[in-house]
Amino acid sequence: MDRIRIRGGNALNGTIPISGAKNAALPLMIASLLTDDTLTLENVPHLADVEQLIRILGNHGVDYTVSGKRLAYDPASGRTIHFTARTIVDTTAPYELVSKMRASFWVIGPLLARCHKARVSLPGGCAIGTRPVDLFIEGLRALGATIDIENGYVVAEARGGLVGNRYVFPKVSVGATHVMLMAASLARGETVIENAAREPEIVDLADCLNAMGARISGAGTSTITIQGVSALSGARHRVLPDRIETGTYAIAVAMAGGDVTLAGTRSDLLATALESLRHAGATIEDVPNGIRVRREGGGIGAVDVATDPFPGFPTDLQAQFMALMTKADGVSHITETIFENRFMHVQELARLGARISLAGQVARIEGVPRLAGAPVMATDLRASVSLVIAGLAAEGETTVSRVYHLDRGFERLEEKLGACGAEVERISG
């Protein structure tokens, strides 16, 4: 099993290319089920989750090809992949596939919209929370689907097709908003979704669906209107930059010090998180085709944050920001409002010398003057990279095990950090 070894103490200087967003690529790939034409996606990242979803879509009959010759591949660029679902060969998403990646449950929306039926395994629990699917089910029921739970499967049917309706989400859900956008695109009549998620990935999906012939307005606001159409066509769409990867490397620069340009990304995708970093002592400015992040001299300031749906502070940057706060001057507090079990990295950070106490969903971090390298273990995707960030500033050597979590969402992390002066290497076996 691979591990990541970090020797701390080096400042980061140079350029880090930002990959396409995993959280945008996955729903965009699933949208290929909505049409029998080819959907071409540019800037698709090389990630374990993407490869797993390709296998899952293949189970439903989606063919794919990758543009370009392997020898000419530029590792700083995302792939261009062509997805074609000419014929849906199976409307069942089995447990052995869905259990490996929760986002695969989202196929229920396009399968129901195009084939009028779907049988999708319940995804089960998750390391960072239960993440129930009741919001998905109630939303699809509002569009006229009949849904039952049978032997661990969600069995959905819409004889005659889905019908537009008004639906108010009782709580904001990014995944359920994705599913409703896809399902309502082929529903008869108008659908209005209220209390919809506002994340940039929602806008990216809506833009792609509109390019395919959908009629969606209001994406990026809490009210989205979809005028259903009878069929969607193929399209070509570029996956937006990964705002979580952007924030992660910005936090890494604030932690280690230095001067790094994050290329191919945009500050508007994570304005709240960048503002918190400025308060912590980082200098951040827009530059042509990216963002420049610096911390040259001066300490790290203690900053309180609370996670919140977009445009608030992203829950997917909470662990990374906590790693930064372990070396802040003073005491900071981080409140997690999205997931009930997203503090599992606390005990691993403590192994490096961090002083963190928990009271419910609030973490109190007392900054320390030094961290010391140690063996640590990743517990989930974002927790894994928080340990890498801590290791960049720890004295001595830090080894992070279970990095298969890391590979789900960060492309070539050791290469990107290494090019900027970090001593980071992958150890196989």
Binding residues are: 22-23, 102, 131-135, 171-174, 316, 338
Give the whole-angstrom CA distance, residue 57 versus residue 54. Answer: 5
The two beta strands, 331-335 and 305-306, are parallel
Annotated binding residues for UDP-N-acetyl-alpha-D-glucosamine, written as ranges, equal 102, 131-135, 171-174, 316, 338
What is the residue-wise DSSP string for 290-329? EEEEEE-SS-PBP--EEB-STTSB-GGGHHHHHHHHTTSB
Out of 115, 126, 208, 420, the active site residue is 126
Query: What is the residue whose two structure tokens read 């995993």?
Result: 22
The answer to whether 110 and 131 have CB atoms below 8 angstroms apart is no
- Partners of residue 424 on adjacent β-strands: 6
In which order are the strands placed within the sheet that holds 117-121?
92-93, 117-121, 153-157, 146-150
Handedness of CA 367, 370, 376, 381 (dihedral sign): positive
- Angle CA(416)–CA(307)–CA(285) in degrees, nearest 5? 45
Q: Would you call 104 helix, strand, or coil by DSSP? A: helix
Q: Evaluate whether 173 touches 198 at the Cβ level (below 8 Å).
A: no
CA atoms 26, 29, 33, 35: torsion sign: positive
The span from the CA of 184 to the CA of 210, in Å, is 12
Annotated binding site for phosphoenolpyruvate: 22-23
Active site includes 420?
no
- 292 burial type by CB count under 10 A (0-12 exposed, 13-18 middle, 19+ buried): middle
Instruction: Cite the active site residues.
Output: 126
